[in-house]
Structure 1
Amino acid sequence: MTLEIKFNDTFHFNSTKCLKLKIDIKNFQQSVSSKMDSGNTTHRRRCSESLSESVFIGLCKIHELGTPQQLAMRRDIIEVMNIVQNYLEPNKRNFLWCGSHGEGFRFVESDMDIMEWPTNYRVFWERSQIQYNNTKRFVPILTDSSESPPGFTLLWLHVPIPEAHSCVLFSSLRMKERLYISSSKYIEKKLLQEPTCVKHGPCTLNIMEVPRLEIDHAHSFASDLWPPSASSWIDRCHMWPQPHVVDDIIRSGCHFVAIGHKLGNHENNEWRISFSLAEQKLVFSMNHCQFLTYGLLKWFLNKVINCQLSEERKSLCSYHIKTAIFWVLQENIISQWTPQNLLECFWVCFKLILKWVYEGVCPNFFIPENNMFHTNIHGGSQDALFIRLYTLYERGLSCLFQSPSIRYYIMNELCNPRLPFCINESTLMHDPVFAMELFQEIHENATLNTLDLISFIKALQKIEKLAYSLLTNYHIVMLQNLSAIILQQTAFSFYNLLHSSIYMYNDNNKEIYIFDKISCHMLKMAAKFGCISAKLYLAMYHYRTCRYREALSVIERTKVG
Structure 2
Amino acid sequence: MSQVMDLIGVNEKIVMKRRKLMLLNESLFKLSLQLIGNDLNMFLFGSQTEGTTTLGLNSDTDCLTSLNKFNVIQDWSEWEYGKCNLLMIQDENVSPGYCLLQALRDDAPLPQVVKCHDYLYRDRMGRILLKNTFFNVVPNAYAVRHGPAHTTPAVPGVKAGDFVIALPCQLRPVQARHWFNQHREEHWPTYDMIQYCRNTKCFVVGVGKTGSVNETFEWRISTSVAERFLMFNLNITQIKCYVLMKMILKAFITQMFPNSITSFMCKTVLLHCISYTRSDAWKENTLFTCLSFCLSTLYNCVQNEYCPHFFITQNNLMTGRFTPETKPLILETLRYVIESNGRALFEIECDDFGLFLQSSLNGINLIDAHCVPTHIAGRLLIDTALAQGVHFQCLLRDNYNLSPILTIKKLLTLMSNHHNENFSNIDRKAYCLLTRYLCCTIGSVLASLNIYQQDQFIYRKALSFMSLGLDSDVASGKLKLASVFYCTGDMERTELILKNIEECYDLSVVEPVCGCYDSKQYARREIFNRLCYESNEEWALLKHITASCVCYIRCEINCCPFELQHEMFRSTQEDFVHRSEDDDWMDFAAVDSLPYLYFLQYKTYSRLGRLDDKQRALSNIARTIDVEPNLGHKETALNLLGQCMEQENNLDNAFKCYARSLQIRGRNNSAKINICKLLNKLINN
TM-score by length of 2: 0.61
Q: Deviations over 1:301-320 (max 9, x none)?
A: 234432x447xx33111111
Higher strand share: 1
Q: Which runs of 5+ in 1 are unaligned?
A: 1-51, 198-203, 420-426
Q: Tell me whether 1:443 sits opposite 2:388 in the alignment.
A: no
Q: Is the 8 A contact 1:141 1:156 kept in 2?
A: yes
Q: Distance in 1 between matches of 2:443 and 2:127?
A: 53
Q: What fraction of aligned residue pairs are identical, expressed as a percent? A: 18
Q: Is 1:230 equivalent to 2:230 in the alignment? A: no
Q: What corresponds to 2:611 in structure 1?
A: none
Aligned match of 2:83: 138
How far 1:479 sits from its partner (Å)? 5.3
Match of 2:270 among 317, 325, 333: 325
How far is 1:217 from its partner? Answer: 1.9
Match of 1:534 among 465, 477, 484: 477
> Is 2:360 the counterpart of 1:413?
yes
Amino acid at match of 2:25: I
Per-residue CA deviation, residues 419-466 of structure 1 (Å, 9 max, x unaligned), is 9xxxxxxx7579986874453132132224333456643554478656
**Aligned counterpart, 2:412:** 457
Aligned equivalents of 1:80, 1:411: Cα separation in 2: 42
Q: 1:289 aligns with which of 212, 230, 237?
A: 237
Bigger Cα displacement from structure 2, 151-160 vs 69-78: 69-78
Q: 1:120 to 1:464 in 2, by over 3 A?
A: closer
Q: 1:35 is matched with which residue?
A: none
TM-superposed deviation, 1:274: 0.9
Partner of 2:133, secondary structure, is: helix
Letter aligned with residue 112 of structure 1: T
Higher relative CO (CA 8 A, sep ≥ 6), structure 1 or 2? 1
1:151 to 93, 97, 113: 97
Work out whether residues 226 and 250 of structure 1, in 8 Å CA contact, stay in contact via their aligned partners in 2.
yes
The counterpart of 1:344, out of the listed 275, 279, 289, is: 289
What SS is found at the alignment partner of 2:62?
strand
Instruction: Tell me, yes or no, if structure 1 residue 300 matches structure 2 residue 248.
Output: yes
Higher mean C-alpha displacement, 402-411 vs 534-543: 534-543
Amino acid at match of 2:384: I
2:443 paired residue among 455, 468, 491 = 491
How has the CA–CA distance of structure 1 residues 458 and 251 changed in structure 2, closer, same or farther, with 3 Å as cutoff? farther
Taking a change above 3 Å as real, the CA distance of residues 274 and 531 of structure 1, as seen in their structure-2 partners, is same
Deviation at 1:271, TM superposition (A): 0.5
Choose the corresponding residue for 1:401, options 330, 341, 346.
Answer: 346
Distance 1:168 1:492 in 2: 49
Shift of 1:235: 4.4
Q: Which residue of 1 aligns with 2:135?
A: 186
Q: What corresponds to 2:37 in structure 1?
A: 90
1:377-404 CA distance string (max 9 Å, x none): 2422322322222232232322221224
Tell me if 1:116 matches 2:65: yes
Q: Residues 386, 462 of structure 1: CA spacing in aligned structure 2 closer, same or farther, 3 A cutoff?
A: farther
CA distance in 2, matches of 1:397, 1:327: 23
Deviations 1:272-326 (A, max 9, x none): 11111111111112122222222222233234432x447xx33111111111111
Match of 2:206 among 250, 255, 258: 258
Q: Distance in 1 between matches of 2:172 and 2:386?
A: 34
Where 2:65 maps in the other structure, the secondary structure is strand
Q: In the TM superposition, what whole-angstrom CA distance separates every residue of 1:338-373 from its partner, at most 9, and x where no partner exists?
A: 222222222221221111111111111111221111
1:71 matches 2:18: yes
CA contact (8 A) 2:100 2:218 kept: yes
Structure-2 separation of matches of 1:56 and 1:213: 22
1:408 Cα offset (Å): 3.7
TM-score normalised according to structure 1 size = 0.73
Q: Is the 8 A contact 2:171 2:201 kept in 1?
A: yes
> 1:173 pairs with 101, 121, 141, which one?
121
Residue 71 of structure 1 and its aligned partner are, at CA, apart by 3.3
Do structure 1's residue 524 and structure 2's residue 467 form an aligned pair?
A: yes
Aligned to 1:559: 502
Q: Of residues 270, 274, 277 in structure 1, which corresponds to 2:222?
A: 274
Match of 1:363 in 2: 308
What are the Cα deviations for residues 73-100 of structure 1, in whole angstroms up to 9, with x where unaligned?
3244235425534642513222111122
SS in 1 for 2:310: coil
- Residue 246 of structure 1, CA deviation: 1.6
Matches within 5 A, 1:196-207: 205-207=151-153
Partner AA of 2:228 in structure 1: Q
- Whether 2:170 is the aligned partner of 1:221: answer no
1:372 partner SS: coil
* Contact 1:74-1:104 within 8 A present in 2 as well: no
Q: Please, which moves more after superposition, 84-93 or 255-264? A: 84-93
Q: What's 1:31 paired with?
A: none
Gaps of 5+ in 2: 109-114, 400-407, 505-685
Answer yes or no: is the 8 Å Cα contact 2:157–2:386 preserved in 1: no
SS, match of residue 279 in structure 1? helix
RMSD: 3.8
439-448 or 536-545, which deviates more? 536-545
**Which of the numbers 381, 388, 393 marks the counterpart of 2:326?**
381
8 Å CA contact retained: 1:392, 1:399: yes
2: CA distance, partners of 1:259 / 1:107: 29
Cα gap change, 1:256 to 1:478, in 2 (>3 Å): closer
Distance between the aligned counterparts of 1:357 and 1:486, measured in 2?
53
Q: Is contact 2:246-2:263 (8 Å) kept?
A: yes
Deviation string 1:171-225 (CA, Å, 9 cap, x unpaired) is 222223121100023333227865999xxxxxx8515387896452212211111
Give the match's secondary structure for 1:379.
Answer: coil
AA of the residue aligned to 2:381: F
Q: Secondary structure at the match of 1:528?
A: coil
Q: Which residue identity is paired with 2:45?
A: C
Q: What letter matches 2:101 in structure 1? A: L
Q: 1:431 to 1:402 in 2, by over 3 A?
A: closer
- Answering whether residue 51 of structure 2 is matched by residue 104 of structure 1, we say yes
1:30-86: CA deviation from partner (whole Å, max 9, x where unpaired): xxxxxxxxxxxxxxxxxxxxxx44234234368xx9624423432442354255346
Q: Which residue of 2 aligns with 1:246?
A: 194
Compared with structure 1, are the counterparts of its residues 210 and 114 closer, same or farther at alpha carbon in structure 2 (3 Å cutoff)? closer
SS in 2 for 1:60: coil
1: CA distance between counterparts of 2:330 and 2:6? 31
1:473-512 alignment to 2 at 5 Å?
480-494=432-446, 508-509=453-454
Residue 158 of structure 1 aligns with an amino acid whose one-letter code is L
